[in-house]
Structure 1
Amino acid sequence: MFRDASDWAPTSTDPNDEQFGDAVDPVGVEDADSYDAVLVGEPYDGAVIGREGAREGPAAVRSSLAGAKTNHFEAGPVDSVADLGDVVIPDEDVAGAQATVREAAASVHETDALPVFVGGDNSLSYANVAPLLDDGGHSVGVVSFDAHLDCREVGDDGPTSGTPYRQLFDAGLDSLAVVGARHFETSTPYAGFLREQGGHVVTSEEVAVDPTGALDVARSALDGVDHVYVSVDVDVLDAAYPGASAPTPGGLQPRELFRLVRSLADSDDRIRGFEVVETAPPLDTANRTVDAAARTIAHFLAGAR
């Protein structure tokens, strides 16, 4: 189910520099309970509507994270993190890939560790969240940091990177808040669909004006749910960070995303999973998007301690 994780290695020769390369342990799923959080790579981009390249995301994000320091000024050093390796995803249709990843994700959700999925394209959000919907009748809400709503209808050709939240609502998802969405990037029927489901949209403009208030609006959409899942599509960042399947102008800056993700992780003990998707290294410039994705994970882990 999982391909063994490569050994993590630091990049600094300074003995005072503890990096994620020092702190992350490659393990099997049977040992995940010994850690607070576990990384899971999902190298797949067969469902991308935009530009391909996200299948290379897990390896590049891990490499960048390995060289980042573990220290956060307020939270202290991040520790107790393991890496389960990559899900082995056969070269098959999107529905088949989702089924494979859903089985693997379910095995991780069954552990005591908090799963951190590293994609891979957005179609796998369905597979990562769906096991939570099978968890004994608990209600589930998602906070999605994304330029788009990803509520497209599943067509005759099957799921795509634009359909995961339509699929999740069909499977019983209770609530969705999309943070960082852009005007003129979503078709009116999909915006209407989300409103009909009781979902919330917090635009990138609203985040820029009042990040704390924007996060409060997103939280309000999740009032009363038992489990929360947090998703980051790196296209939530401005198009100045081009290593994404569908970058657009007017997005968040990394420091805004870091603050929001860390604050959410720190303030909500209902979180049952986290993901960063759509990072496409071949489309990047000077590794800036990959580095932002890796540090988004670091900030989430700091908040979740």
Structure 2
Amino acid sequence: MIRSPFYNAPVQDYWQGRTDGTDPDMLRWHQVVQCIDLGKENLPALQEEQKGIVLVGFASDEGVRRNKGRVGAAQGPLVLRRSCAAFPVHFDGHLLIDGGDINCTGGDLSGAQQALAVTVKQIIEAGYLPVLFGGGHEITYGHASGIYDSYQQSAIGLINFDAHFDLRQPGAEGASSGTGFWQLAEDCRQTGRDFYYLALGIQQNSNTRRLFDTADALGVMHLPGEYFHHLKRESLFRNLHLFVDSVDKIYLTTCLDVFAAAFAPGVSATAYNGILPDAVFLECYREILYSGKLGGGYR
């Protein structure tokens, strides 16, 4: 159970949508999702061969605010739940749990990230896959920290679909939405763990030369947005497979500003030349999902 002032229980009313019927082949997410207050209950025990996903929101604008961005991401978990509610069910027999939100109250980003890390670890220990709804990209540090803590003897690979490296060093206000991967690299340095990071969709005009130099110094593998094109598909997937094969577990995160502004007009930093959510991107995404190494996902 989660004992934290940053935790809010799930709200069943968020899950509403079209109902075609109650037969198993007619169900939608809002008809099968179980809202469980992790502050009062444990997750249901999974049966043999049964899989489970726990959705957790990270309602935070603080990292974006510190990063001088456009706030509003704290509403993301609610909007994403409502967007997913009418999805058809294609996971018969498996469990879909809404585990509530971690909120960044009082501007205490460090406290919220720590609470998120503990929540992620408990979900993994219960045998479930944590899938997080953000929130600004300050979600990365808390989420990935929980995965590192859960798999202490494993090589953790960080895969980030993003126009930005998010390798900035924290400023006067502390961590922000742009510092998560630098923080994780620093944690790895201090604990003696190898740092594996693959950034996909990087834009040159979204990152300073210092950030490119930092990425190179840390051994970060990165591919620019132009690789998401059929002419460079072979190179994209060759590099992706090379990275996936080198790690044991994967933390997967997608920052919506990786997409072209026409598809993600509400993000804090729009990219006119971002990638397209087309067949090449989806194939790349599925390669990661089907690798069998996923330790946690964020969108």
Shared fold, TM over 0.5: yes
Change (3 A) 1:207 1:217: same
What's 2:297 paired with?
Answer: 274
> Equivalent of 1:3, from 8, 22, 30?
8
Q: Is 2:161 aligned against 1:138?
A: no
CA deviations on 1:232-256 (whole Å, 9 max, x unpaired) are 1111111112121212111122234
Moved more, 208-217 or 109-118: 208-217
Shift of 1:271: 1.2
CA deviations on 1:157-196 (whole Å, 9 max, x unpaired) are 2111010000000111621101111121111121121122
- Normalising to structure 1: TM-score of the pair? 0.81
Aligned AA (2:155): S
Name the SS for the 1:69 alignment partner: coil
Aligned AA (1:204): G
What's 1:295 paired with?
Answer: none
What's 1:303 paired with?
Answer: none
Moved more, 60-69 or 23-32: 23-32
> Equivalent of 2:178, from 158, 162, 169?
162
Name the SS for the 1:264 alignment partner: helix
What's 1:177 paired with?
Answer: 198
Name the SS for the 2:153 alignment partner: coil
Unpaired runs of 5+ residues, structure 2, are 189-193
Q: Is 2:61 aligned against 1:45?
A: yes
Q: Is 2:47 aligned against 1:31?
A: no
Moved more, 8-17 or 170-179: 8-17
Shift of 1:258: 3.3
Q: What is the rounded CA distance, in whole Å, between the counterparts of 1:77 and 1:239 in structure 2?
A: 36
> Equivalent of 1:118, from 122, 133, 136?
133
Name the SS for the 1:64 alignment partner: helix
Q: What is the rounded CA distance, in whole Å, between the counterparts of 2:222 and 2:93 in structure 1?
A: 31
CA deviations on 1:112-137 (whole Å, 9 max, x unpaired) are 00100111111120110012323333
CA deviations on 1:37-89 (whole Å, 9 max, x unpaired) are 11001111101021100000000000010022234xxxx76952211011243
> Equivalent of 1:14, from 5, 17, 20?
20
Within 5 Å, give how 1:88-237 maps onto structure 2: 88-134=103-149, 135-172=151-188, 174-209=195-230, 210-211=232-233, 213-237=235-259
Q: Is the CA contact 2:16–2:82 (under 8 Å) kept in the aligned structure 1?
A: no
Shift of 1:14: 2.3
Name the SS for the 1:254 alignment partner: coil
Q: Is 2:80 aligned against 1:61?
A: yes
- Normalising to structure 2: TM-score of the pair? 0.83
What's 2:265 paired with?
Answer: 242
Q: Is the CA contact 1:146–1:180 (under 8 Å) kept in the aligned structure 2?
A: yes
Q: What is the rounded CA distance, in whole Å, between the counterparts of 2:234 and 2:98 in structure 1?
A: 32
Moved more, 119-128 or 16-25: 16-25
Aligned AA (1:11): G
Moved more, 6-15 or 246-255: 6-15
- Of structures 1 and 2, the one with the larger relative CO (CA 8 A, separation 6+) is 1
What's 1:279 paired with?
Answer: none
Q: What is the rounded CA distance, in whole Å, between the counterparts of 2:29 and 2:203 in structure 1?
A: 33
Aligned AA (1:6): V
Change (3 A) 1:217 1:53: same
Q: What is the rounded CA distance, in whole Å, between the counterparts of 1:11 and 1:211 in structure 2?
A: 37
Q: What is the aligned length?
A: 271
Q: Is the CA contact 1:176–1:222 (under 8 Å) kept in the aligned structure 2?
A: no
Name the SS for the 1:60 alignment partner: helix
Unpaired runs of 5+ residues, structure 1, are 277-305
Q: What is the rounded CA distance, in whole Å, between the counterparts of 2:16 and 2:26 in structure 1?
A: 9
Identity fraction in percent = 24
Change (3 A) 1:20 1:260: farther
CA deviations on 1:180-232 (whole Å, 9 max, x unpaired) are 11121111121121122221111111112344641431332344322211001
